[in-house]
Chains A and B, each alone.
Chain A
């Protein structure tokens, strides 16, 4: 009995000790803050350790140029980043400056979580000019500058010129039609330069390509108020486009694609073409150094309207809760427009959004390829669509899943269309609540 009591006392003493230490930490932290009196800015972004290293170098330079400001950086992978951000923001916290994605912009702006930087711009803490074509307005919602574009990219047809040459097929060229695109797929699949290599995968699961196809008809995937911009008839046409190819097995099979996942089919010798964002080429070159890659334009319904636009691939926003909006705006400005920062950051986040930052860069071969492509289609570029509604991520995934089920022949085109509309309407309703 005594023994037990003794232990209890010991445990109590240990607990008490722990509490004292915790309290001690708290006091110590408070004291330190009071002593330095630096403006502290929390800055969060998503990315990998390589990006973290480059970002840290840029932050070091910023702190050297602005001795009164101290940056507290943190980062996570994309998915974890947004989970953490949502939780922190919901709890009333969050960073001062955050890396923003176009698909989250509307959600954060409509909940009044990100600051209108117009005030900081008029005070001179932030320059909002000098953006590349069409990017300037992409950070605005209802006239409020809730984000500043940091980098931009364009949709494209990524392909393997070495395979095209061997199969003796014409390369994608500006103004090529969907019919030519389909003929190219067929020729490449029949040539099968590498065993089982197809011309392309079933592109009907690629929601950004459908968006371009709709834009070529003067429509859009989403209306400005965040509803679906097309009806069942358009989607039926879209899914039917590749039906014959699916039946004749001229596309990358869903089975093979599922096995390759998460490896992309283009760098795995499984397809010769892939519609995707032009900056993905950097990743593919890294993954398959022996293969040749090139960037071409997407097919179009009319040669002069490709529906293309420069999309902000990353933006920077300042939290409405920030106690130091001026210092935060300064950091945003530095990251986006400072030539020295641009040199450090390179094209890790894509091609910079401002002309000044782009001019400061020394481009490698791959970067040059992207810049050249964007220049070559400059006359086809249109203004970017408004940011997508809050459920857009779910809808993008639904499009991919439903197209996959079409390829497994688990759905007919009509069933696929109905299921897409059910799921999309649910996602949009849930996003606007």
Chain B
């Protein structure tokens, strides 16, 4: 969008004389300059992303341990993968994480964003404060703090004990350790919150006023005005956070010390992939795992796009 306005503006202004002198040449040199500016990205994309991706697609059909020449084995890696119990365990752990973390995180982000749209004193401070966890959250230090919070006699243990649930710290408990990682993700709701905030501020005031005149209460206004109006933003956030949740790695890697424990309860797909690739050097198998993840995330995204037709409302669109 911005690109077209930038180039069209000056072109229209100087259209008359320029066309007479230089003919179509400026267009071509524009393109050349454009590609030149793009070149760092294009080179990076080709060399650092597309190339390795194609290589990994090839390797996924081979037996490759870094030392041998890749040996073509067809779909063997994929067949082995689906026969492996540990693979099924990692899929179930990851799906549970995605299904819990994504909606909870979006819910928290939306709730706080709505609260923050009301004008209060020191609003800027609150916005910064709620965004701060997202800056800290991905760090190794935060994962270590999280471990301490959820240890025996940690903050969580004391809280759950005070309401009569003496289950101990969640770090060492395979029934709850995943929930601990979900909470770590939910706590980092800052990025979707900022996007929600922007979306909420775009909702025309007069819609609320009209609804109020029609006798709609707070909840009614939220359901009938706010939600449809910000549905494109919800869709965007949902898409982004779902894809993001499938790729969860750092928190589990740091909190479990890299082994996905206790008892495999935090052995995420990506963590398992990492172990297969860099502990076992089964590069072919790990590449196959990476491609299955890519395909699954692609399918989930396509599915979300398909359902979006039913519930995403674009203002000014035909629906």
Contact = CB atoms under 8 A, between A and B. Distances in A.
Contacts of B280: 391, 393-394, 427, 430-431
B172 A258 contact: yes
A4 interface: yes
Interface in B24-41: 26, 29-30, 32-33, 36-37
Contacts of A404: 261-263
B263 A11 contact: no
B23 interface: no
A352 B172 CA distance: 38
B68 interface: yes
Interface string A290-321: 00000000000000000000000000000000
A92 to B, nearest CB: 11
B168 A255 contact: yes
B263 A408 contact: yes
B214 interface: no
B168 A401 contact: no
Given A11-B36, A90-B67, A405-B264, A259 B171 contact: yes
A418 to B, nearest CB: 10
Interface size class of B (residues with CB under 8 A): 35 or more
Interface in A75-103: 79, 83, 86-87, 89-90
Interface residues of A, number: 43
Nearest to A12: B36
B159 interface: no
B279 interface: yes
Contact of A1 (B26, B68, B85, B278): B26
Contact of B172 (A11, A79, A254, A410): A254
A255 B65 CA distance: 35
A113 B67 contact: yes
Given A254-B262, A393-B280, A397-B279, 10 more contacts: A1-B11, A1-B14, A11-B36, A86-B67, A256-B152, A259-B152, A262-B257, A401-B261, A401-B263, A433-B71
Interface of B: 10-11, 14, 18, 26, 29-30, 32-33, 36-37, 63, 65-68, 71, 84-86, 151-152, 168-169, 171-174, 257, 259, 261-264, 278-282, 285
5 closest Cβ contacts across the A-B interface? A258-B172, A255-B172, A258-B262, A8-B33, A90-B66
Interface of A: 1, 4-5, 7-8, 11-12, 79, 83, 86-87, 89-90, 107, 111, 113, 253-259, 261-262, 391, 393-394, 397, 400-401, 404-405, 408, 410, 419, 422-423, 426-427, 430-431, 433
